[in-house]
Structure 1
Amino acid sequence: MDILKWAFHEYREEIVYACSFGAEGIVLIDLISKVNNEAKINFLDTGLHFQETYELIEEVKNRYPSLQINMVQPKTSLEEQTKWYGDKLWIYNPNLCCNIRKIAPLKEALTDVKAWISGLRRDQSPTRRNIQYINKDSKFQKIKICPLIHWTWDDIMSYIELNKLPYNPLHEKGYPSIGCAPCTLPVSENEDQRAGRWAGQAKIECGLHQK
């Protein structure tokens, strides 16, 4: 809460939360609503998310009606992407697909702000172990703020349960990390939480959090 209070005091209207609506996202939305109930929240709507994710977003909108929840969509439709690059680009060139459907839209959405909030946690994967509360984001030339870096998965789910918050039912089916439906699989208990993302490929990040 101290990090969030500082962030909204420091950046006021020039900060946005880029939310994936995973469990961490639900916790941050609830915390943010206590600091600024008119905060701007962006969801990168790739057009490829699980139906459960879209249903959760509508539930959250009803629960927090004063928050500014925006569906950020890529300029390239799925039909155009198929026409230009072939069917199911996410299979044979997932980096390009993520760039078109996530990275480029977020870059545009961050144009008018100085900082953005992310739900990254250090225990999610090896690539996130050195994340700090406040980070210089070289990719988007912004400040990236990560209030939950020390939270564990148990911390996240305990907060959701104690506060009776809605969350994606896929979390109970082996999906700790939920992205686009074609690129997300359930994981076993001994795998890291992002093992189901782009399973079978070298890719472990969409690129939003890489330099």
Structure 2
Amino acid sequence: MDKINKIKDKLAEFNQLLEGLSLEESILFVKDNLEGKKVFSTSFGIEDQVLTHFLYPLANDFSFFTLDTGRLFSETYEVFQKTQTKYKGLQIKTYLPEEKDIQSYIDSDGINGFYDSIESRKKCCFVRKVIPLKRALEGVAVWVTGLRAEQSQNRETMPFLEWDEENKLVKFNPLLHYSLSQLEAIVKENNIPINSLYRKGYLSIGCAPCTRALSEGEDFRAGRWWWENGKKECGLHIHIEKNN
């Protein structure tokens, strides 16, 4: 516990230093000041595409991975391919759910059982996302994410660097204070490929059966698990909910 407290104290100091730094500067700061294996998880949303652009020159320092749930949009696979075409030599390791876990879920809940209850939906997310994530984060010291404060209420108090108790590592959120309009400007300036669904109102893109386009004025996360009420998280960032 003393070791973790020391890490948290160091993160508090680093968070003050990160305020005011540019995206490139903050990434370099973390590269130079945090030890251990560093990974970046991408789901190919606009946030992750921007981070891919800036992390690509540092691919020797940051490993890339993605979670393929088996139920993604075809457009997501398309932007996956376009990303590797633009960023030559970029390796993005893909983690898939275990076949036995998927079969067990289908046997107990049905192929689309996640529509029936929040419990069943979270069970599906656990099998398709959380378990593969655990494999992806084995031995990792720093996990880079595309989380932003404006995405949902339970992310508004996030720091740049936080101790992830669930996974026993440091989570780095370099896009913390970026707005969608700022990200769109970066995408346009650098000709960064993005998911074609984004232009059709899909601002937060997950699995195909669980994502719809937003109507005008709807909250950023309204298109995810739209049949549910309350907080909408899949379990990948559950520790943030615990902290709020």
TM-score, normalization by structure 2: 0.81
Tell me if structure 2 keeps the 8 A contact 1:37–1:67.
Answer: no
Moved over 4 A (4+): 77-80
Tell me if structure 2 keeps the 8 A contact 1:185–1:196.
Answer: yes
Aligned to 1:83: 107
Compared CA separation, residues 5 and 38, structure 1 to 2 (3 A): closer
Distance 2:35 2:171 in 1: 14
Residue 196 of structure 1, CA deviation: 0.4
Aligned to 1:35: 58
How many aligned residue pairs are there? 211
Larger Rg: 2
Aligned to 1:206: 234
Aligned to 2:12: none
One-letter amino acid of the counterpart of residue 55, structure 2: I
Provide structure 1 residue ranges, at least 5 long, that are not aligned to the other structure: none
Tell me if structure 2 keeps the 8 A contact 1:40–1:67.
Answer: no
5 Å-filtered alignment, 1:37-52, equals 39-52=62-75
Distance 2:59 2:111 in 1: 42
CA root-mean-square deviation: 1.7
Residue 79 of structure 1, CA deviation: 4.4
Tell me if structure 2 keeps the 8 A contact 1:15–1:114.
Answer: yes
Residue 143 of structure 1, CA deviation: 0.6
Tell me if structure 1 keeps the 8 A contact 2:122–2:234.
Answer: yes
5 Å-filtered alignment, 1:78-157, equals 78-92=102-116, 93-157=120-184
Provide structure 2 residue ranges, at least 5 long, that are not aligned to the other structure: 1-23, 240-244
The equivalent position to 1:163 in structure 2, one of 185, 190, 202, is 190
Share of identical aligned residues, percent? 36
One-letter amino acid of the counterpart of residue 41, structure 2: A
Aligned to 1:20: 43
Residue 9 of structure 1, CA deviation: 2.5
5 Å-filtered alignment, 1:183-194, equals 183-194=210-221
Residue 40 of structure 1, CA deviation: 1.3
Compared CA separation, residues 60 and 13, structure 1 to 2 (3 A): farther
Larger helix proportion of the pair = 2
TM-score, normalization by structure 1: 0.93
One-letter amino acid of the counterpart of residue 71, structure 1: T
Per-residue CA deviations over 1:74-105 (Å, capped at 9, x if unaligned) read 11364453134322132231100111110111
Compared CA separation, residues 64 and 11, structure 1 to 2 (3 A): farther
Tell me if structure 1 keeps the 8 A contact 2:45–2:194.
Answer: yes
Distance 1:91 1:32 in 2: 37
Q: Which shows bigger deviation, 13-22 or 1-10?
A: 1-10
